[in-house]
Amino acid sequence: MCGIVGYVGTTNDGTALDVVMEGLARLEYRGYDSAGVALLDGDHVETRKKSGKLANLTAELEARPLPASTTGIGHTRWATHGGPTDQNAHPHRGGKDGKLALIHNGIIENFHALKQGLLADGVEFASETDTEVVAHLVAAAYEQHRDLTTAMRAVVADLEGAFTLLAIHADQPDVVVGARRNSPLVVGLGENANYLGSDVAAFIGHTRHALELAQDQIVTITPEGATVVNFDGTPAEGKAYEVTWDAAAAEKGGYATFMEKEINDQPHAVRDTLLGRTDPEGRLILDELRISEEQLRNVDRITIVACGTAAYAGMTAKYAIEHWTRIPVEVSLAHEFRYCDPIVNERTLVVSISQSGETMDTLMAVKHARELGALTISICNTHGSTIPRESDAVLYTHAGPEIAVASTKAFLAQITASYVLGLYLAQLRGGSFADDAQSVMKELAGVPAKIETLLAQMGRVKEIAKFMADTRSVLFLGRHVGYPVAMEGALKLKELAYIHAEGFAAGELKHGPIALIEPGQPVFVVVPSPTSEHGLHGKVVSNIQEIRARGARTLVIAEEGDEAVEPFADEVIRVPATSPLLAPLLTVVPLQVFALWLSTAKGLDVDQPRNLAKSVTVE
Ligand code: AGP
């Protein structure tokens, strides 16, 4: 939540304003309630800020241009303290002379007490934000220390909560200082120019050399380099890495929206997530896990912690991992995990799933699990992010940058990576499914081509979505791995089209939800493969008949060649045949496409739905 950019360099790299605005455009998905920039101009700081999307700030900059500068910071906001107004937009100024400008991502939990102290000293506030309190504190500390890094260090010692802060000061040109605690901040290293960003997208147009920071660190960038210290003042070093994707990966590539592009990226997301995880004999090798085989063999319980779409990936993985390993798997919404007095010990493997690697709820669950002695593995899509850092090990998904707020390709990559983990555990533990690991991996390798086939036949789904633009409510049913897919389909529709949508386990219908069915009610049904065990397929076909008999309009997602659904379906959407546990990698695709085109038909902003932000860095 909130996008942060900092730049210091030479005019050869473009003016600070160009660099900062380009970074904000790439980070806007992190929050779009307001945007603002601050630049150093001689002996003073100039700011421009505007509520609403970045386009409003661009218009403001055209009306009131800023001078060329080599030092600047910029912010896109997801509002927490204070509404989304011009006054509450960042940057905030500090000190009587306003020589300091500061931006912030996170929440300062003790801001009220700190504000009372400042008010008692006669400080006047221009906004309702917790951020402005910090701006005044850093400005006051600067008066004492005459050095921005030292001033920042003095202030962060008194702050409670999670924060990334960036500041510039008119008396200290060519310097941007950043601080982080439980909130993202990465450094970009250029030539005679350096960058700060909430994520690497902020500077990917300029450099792929990045520096990962640890918790509770302060970084000072100048055109010459970046210096890191811990909050206690001891020198530190960031961890250097190369970003594996380029600016083109963070662009729409000819599609109208990022979401459409990302849906079409899904074959790559799955293929790349499988890459390099088997040896020439097809045996799984996960050296990257850095957890001994002995420790993994000892695991007697797995808890998956995640939120939203990532939690649905976790629910899908539960079916597969339990089937392959016979280890009990529990899926816990990360924000509930800490409060349910979880049964976790050193034989518990806690697997967190997060695209961004910054979701605060998930981060706090991981920390709690570690405190309780669990082994922690993070399945994550973002190199250098906080959750992998705070975990014992990481299994990266390789979906590439996901910009649309609604998660699509990350979901498929998360299922893929958690299946890889489950198969690896099965292989390690021996037992009846150890030998199957190789054949399942082979089948997984064939899934990207099936997704490609499926994507090429989505024309009818697009038509159905357009036709349903006025629909007020849609239900989704599924059983077994189709159940989390149904919930994911409903989530996509809620967040993108703002209509009532609910996903149910199909068997639950008769215990209450069937009362919702009235003539014309659209219901998507995710039908399991006819090859599923325990008569699952037949049970879902019966469920379709039950709702059809009560007037529902049935939109059935079924495998190629599954003729049993035909008599009871108003629409049949075909997916390529695959074994039952792999089916979610296909059956979710039409639901994503449906939500995309229904939202488009309603004229809504597909990539930036209202009230949301891409990474949720507050609890
Ligand atoms: C889904 O479309 C959402 N944007 C959301 O549910 C998301 O999956 C959730 O907030 C978790 O994010 P993460 O994967 O970055 O941790």
Contact between 312 and 487 under an 8 Å Cβ cutoff? The reply is yes
CA 240–ligand 1 middle distance (angstroms): 27
565: containing domain: 455-601
The catalytic position among 2, 318, 380, 409 is 2
| Omega before residue 91 within 30° of 0, cis | yes
Please state the φ and ψ torsions of residue 166, each to the nearest 5 degrees: -130, 140
CA 428–ligand 1 middle distance (angstroms): 31
Per residue in 121-158, pLDDT tens?
A: 999 999 999 999 999 999 999 999 999 999 999 999 99
Contact 349 CB / ligand 1 (< 6 Å)? no
Same domain, 307 and 424: yes
Same domain, 234 and 179: yes
| Residue 165: predicted pLDDT | 97
Q: Which residues contact 54 (CB under 8 A, 6 or more apart)?
A: 21, 24, 25, 28, 32, 35, 76
Q: Which atom of ligand 1 is nearest to the CA of 407?
A: 2
Q: Which is it for strands 571-575 and 553-559: parallel, antiparallel or unpaired?
A: parallel
Angle at 470 between CA 464 and CA 473, to 5 degrees: 85
Contact between 36 and 91 under an 8 Å Cβ cutoff? The reply is yes
CA 118–ligand 1 middle distance (angstroms): 37
Contact 359 CB / ligand 1 (< 6 Å)? yes
- Residues 276 and 449: their CA atoms lie apart, in Å, by 18
Same domain, 375 and 228: no
Contact 365 CB / ligand 1 (< 6 Å)? no
Q: Whose CA is nearest to atom 8 of ligand 1?
A: 309
Distance (Å) of CA 537 to CA 393, 523, 583: 38, 17, 13
Contact 356 CB / ligand 1 (< 6 Å)? yes
| Residue 13: predicted pLDDT | 54
507, with CB counted inside 10 A (0-12, 13-18, 19+), is: middle
- Residues 19 and 5: their CA atoms lie apart, in Å, by 9
First to last CA, the chain: 11
Choose one of 445, 478, 506: the last residue of a domain. Answer: 445
- Rg for the chain, CA atoms, rounded: 25
Q: Report, as ranges of residue numbers, the positions in the chain whose pLDDT lies below 70.
A: 11-14
Q: Is residue 450 part of a domain?
A: no
CA 68–ligand 1 middle distance (angstroms): 38
CA 309–ligand 1 middle distance (angstroms): 5
Q: Is residue 608 part of a domain?
A: no
| Residue 253: predicted pLDDT | 87
Contact 616 CB / ligand 1 (< 6 Å)? yes
Say which residue the tokens 């690991």 belong to. Answer: 437
CA 547–ligand 1 middle distance (angstroms): 31
Same domain, 130 and 160: yes
- Residues 408 and 397: their CA atoms lie apart, in Å, by 13
Q: Which atom of ligand 1 is nearest to the CA of 410?
A: 14
Q: Whose CA is nearest to atom 4 of ligand 1?
A: 406
- Residues 89 and 112: their CA atoms lie apart, in Å, by 19
Q: Structure tokens of 557?
A: 């997602």
Contact 308 CB / ligand 1 (< 6 Å)? yes
Q: Is residue 441 part of a domain?
A: yes
Contact 608 CB / ligand 1 (< 6 Å)? no
Contact 615 CB / ligand 1 (< 6 Å)? yes
CA 208–ligand 1 middle distance (angstroms): 25
Q: Whose CA is nearest to atom 6 of ligand 1?
A: 308
Pocket probe mutation, ligand 1, options 32, 262, 305, 307, max atoms within 8 Å of Cβ:
307
Contact between 413 and 273 under an 8 Å Cβ cutoff? The reply is yes
Q: Structure tokens of 301?
A: 């319980």
Q: Which residues contact 284 (CB under 8 A, 6 or more apart)?
A: 277, 278, 420, 423, 424, 427, 437, 441
Contact 607 CB / ligand 1 (< 6 Å)? no
| Residue 471: predicted pLDDT | 95
The catalytic position among 49, 318, 409, 614 is 614
- Residues 349 and 342: their CA atoms lie apart, in Å, by 12
Same domain, 437 and 558: no
- Under DSSP, the state recorded for 44 is E
Q: Which atom of ligand 1 is nearest to the CA of 414?
A: 14
Choose one of 183, 216, 250: the last residue of a domain. Answer: 250
Q: Which atom of ligand 1 is nearest to the CA of 408?
A: 2
Same domain, 239 and 345: no
Q: Is residue 22 part of a domain?
A: yes
Same domain, 379 and 480: no
| Helix (H/G/I), strand (E/B), else coil: 175 | coil
Same domain, 91 and 198: yes
Q: What is the 3-state secondary structure (H, E, C) of 439-489?
A: HHHHHHHCHHHHHHHHHCCCHHHHHHHHHCCCCCEEEEEECCCHHHHHHHH
Q: Is residue 297 part of a domain?
A: yes
Q: Is residue 614 part of a domain?
A: no
Q: Whose CA is nearest to atom 16 of ligand 1?
A: 354
Q: Which atom of ligand 1 is nearest to the CA of 309?
A: 8
Same domain, 427 and 480: no
| Helix (H/G/I), strand (E/B), else coil: 72 | strand
Report the amino acid identity of residue 559: E
Choose one of 224, 250, 276: the last residue of a domain. Answer: 250
Pocket probe mutation, ligand 1, options 304, 332, 333, 356, max atoms within 8 Å of Cβ:
356
CA 411–ligand 1 middle distance (angstroms): 9
Q: Which atom of ligand 1 is nearest to the CA of 411?
A: 8
- Torsion of the alpha carbons at 71, 73, 74 and 75, rounded to the nearest 10: 180
Same domain, 78 and 215: yes
Contact 606 CB / ligand 1 (< 6 Å)? no
Same domain, 569 and 592: yes
Contact 495 CB / ligand 1 (< 6 Å)? yes
Contact 471 CB / ligand 1 (< 6 Å)? no
What pTM, to 2 d.p., does this model score? Answer: 0.89
Whether 307 sits among the annotated catalytic residues: the reply is: no
Helix, strand, coil abundance in the chain, percent, nearest 5: 40, 25, 35
291, with CB counted inside 10 A (0-12, 13-18, 19+), is: middle
Q: Is residue 345 part of a domain?
A: yes
Pocket probe mutation, ligand 1, options 257, 383, 616, 619, max atoms within 8 Å of Cβ:
616
Number of domains composing the chain: 3
Of the candidates 97, 77, 81, the residue with the CA atom closest to the CA atom of residue 36: 77
310: number of Cβ within 10 Å: 26
Distance (Å) of CA 546 to CA 485, 523, 587, 609: 21, 12, 22, 35
Q: Is residue 472 part of a domain?
A: yes
- Residues 304 and 322: their CA atoms lie apart, in Å, by 12
Q: Domain holding 523: CATH number?
A: 3.40.50.10490
Q: Domain holding 169: CATH number?
A: 3.60.20.10
Whether 2 sits among the annotated catalytic residues: the reply is: yes
Of the candidates 518, 549, 528, the residue with the CA atom closest to the CA atom of residue 478: 528
Same domain, 460 and 551: yes
